[in-house]
Amino acid sequence: MAPGERITSIDEVPERGSHLFTVSDPHGTDREVILVRCREDPGVRAWVNVCPHEYQRLDRGRGAAMRDGEVICPKHGSMFDTCSGDCDNGEAAGTSLTAVEIAVDDGAVYLADEDYTYRHEGARDDDDGPSSTSHIGF
């Protein structure tokens, strides 16, 4: 069985930072997802690129900020474990990132989440209406 759409190779996921890509959700809305390294198998995780505290993008197009295996929210500085997605500090304490299912096969990372369809590498195109003002200016 094919594992799904190929996203990238594991080697392309930075040790510090993130690989940003865009998927389409069941409603046809584009969502950004980040791939980040994790110490546990299979070595990477995929999370929806949104801080659960205030809908802040974690990767604003240049890779998410990372420290000691945690993604740092650029807005209030809460840190999320790259393996579990959980946050136990700052404004976002008690929240978790939203997981996107992936599969790793022979060094390649595939989108394995039935809720999402792979669209393209990089940020979401900024063309879906007046609500998407969060990344104007980039």
CB-nearer residue toward ligand FES: 42 or 138: 138
Give the CB-side neighbour count of residue 79, counting CA atoms within 13 A.
8
Instruction: Give the footprint of ligand FES on this chain (CB under 6 A).
Output: 51, 53-54, 56, 73, 75-76, 78, 90-92
CB-nearer residue toward ligand FES: 22 or 49: 49
CB-nearer residue toward ligand FES: 57 or 119: 57
Q: Give the tokens for residue 78.
A: 């809460």
In the complex, the smallest distance separating the C-beta of residue 130 from ligand FES, rounded to whole angstroms, is 21
In the complex, the smallest distance separating the C-beta of residue 64 from ligand FES, rounded to whole angstroms, is 11
> Cβ distance 51 to 73 under 8 Å?
yes
d(CA 95, CA 26): 24
> Cβ distance 60 to 74 under 8 Å?
yes
In the complex, the smallest distance separating the C-beta of residue 49 from ligand FES, rounded to whole angstroms, is 12
